[in-house]
Amino acid sequence: MYRSLLAYCEGYNGSTKTTTTQLDQVGSTATSVKVVNVDDYGAKGDGRDDTEAFKKAWKVACSSSSGVLVVPQNKNYLLKPITFSGPCKSDLTMMVYGTIEASDNRADYESDPQHWLVFENIQNLIVEGGGTINGNGNIWWQNSCKVNKNLPCKSAPTALTFLECKNLVVRNLKIKDSQQIHVEFQNCVTVQALNLMITAPENSPNTDGIHVTGTQNILIKSCVIKTGDDCISIVTGSSKVQASDITCGPGHGISIGSLGADNQEAHVSDVIVDRARLSGTTNGVRIKTWAGGSGSVSNIIFQNIAMNSVTNPIIIDQNYCDEVEPCKEQKSAVEVKQVMYKNIKGTSASEVAVIFDCSKSFPCSGISLQDINLARGGGTASTLCENVKWTQIGSVSPTCP
């Protein structure tokens, strides 16, 4: 049924009122599909505010059986902050062919300064279509304390948030120039994020590509991420996370954390990063935790990764501190254990290619290095290894003393 539906909707940009179409070609049983075009509810796609039209169209699609919400191609729909809420009557697909662009009027975000597009409490949702989600973030970057030190530090909206969704597929989209984080999966279960192209300028602050928090069983695959912060960030409450075939850079690399800020408890487990290419990033594969936290990072695999001029190719930092003043030394820490690095090769832009800066009270344990070859400018790179219990398999260069 889905393939027939995709063929029906492909490139759909007509002005016919919402119709119910019988897909007779699907086996012996016809399936009723409600196709809802945002233009039929007042959307113009001419760069003026279309928020109310999208709300009306969503309400109809969400309350329909086998609803399909269509955002037509060759148009630019300007939206203020909006929440697409469930539960919906049945499975739902949103086909984004055109461009959805964020309002750049910061006053529009006063009621919720942390979100722009939110999909909340929806099961069996597909968002795809090859179109563009444009966060229009330049005004936010200009007013960031990381760009202008004289300004107060305030959060900016996440472009695309999936909150408490189950059986979710997000694929074949371009997401660009987010105000802050591009895509966040928060408290979701069973997610596929496939073939996403995520881009923002290298100097855009806090523009993480994909942020995973409190989410279980997520596959991130075949994504190209070029932003001003982490390509992928995985934080507390997340488990069974797989990222494969990832192209990353510029940006800050692929990170677990930060975790344990403000003495909080944090847990991340069962993460696999497989087949990634990182180029020109400030970090490669990183685990970062604040001193004073508690909990654990466990059962992590980083494998089959190519590094090209990456400043910190392999790094565990249990003394992470993102503050102006030095952070105080504390006894407690988020434990880091059972982490494997396998078949990681390429070049380091810094002399120290491997950093394990672990806690005195809770040393990193079960750290395994297998078939590692990281050089610097054709020469030999070095390591910094503090309070770490590690083992070596095969050839490892550089290696901890």
Catalytically active residues, by annotation: 229, 252
Q: What is the distance between the alpha carbons of residues 213 and 117, in angstroms, rounded to a whole number?
A: 17
CA distances to 182, 208, 299, 347 from 228, in Å: 11, 7, 28, 21
Give yes or no for a contact between 145 and 152, defined as CB atoms under 8 angstroms apart. Answer: yes
Give the number of C-alpha atoms closer than 13 A to the C-alpha of residue 18, restricted to the C-beta side: 23
Residue 356: which of 388, 397, 334 has the closest Cα?
Answer: 388
Cα distances from 270 to residues 218, 255, 276, 296, 312, in angstroms, run: 11, 14, 17, 11, 23
Beta strands in 280-387 (DSSP E): 285-290, 294-310, 314-320, 335-348, 352-357, 364-376, 379-380, 382-386
Phi, psi for 373 (deg, rounded to 5): -145, 100
Q: Taking a C-beta distance cutoff of 8 angstroms, is the pair 50, 16 a contact?
A: no
Q: CA dist 177 to 137, 258, 287, 309, 391, Å?
A: 5, 23, 26, 25, 42
Q: Which two tokens stand for residue 204?
A: 């855009």
CA atoms of 23 and 18, how far apart (whole Å): 15
Q: Are the C-beta atoms of residues 227 and 198 closer than 8 Å to each other?
A: yes
Distance CA 148, CA 56 (A): 40
Structure tokens at 50: 């279309």
Strand-pair category, 123-128 with 265-279: unpaired
Q: What sign does the dihedral 73-78-83-88 (CA atoms) show?
A: negative
Chain centroid to CA 129: 18
Tell how strand 32-37 and strand 19-22 pair up. antiparallel
| Residue pair 158/180 in contact by the 8 Å Cβ criterion | yes
Question: Do the beta carbons of residue 269 and residue 239 sit within 8 Å?
Answer: yes
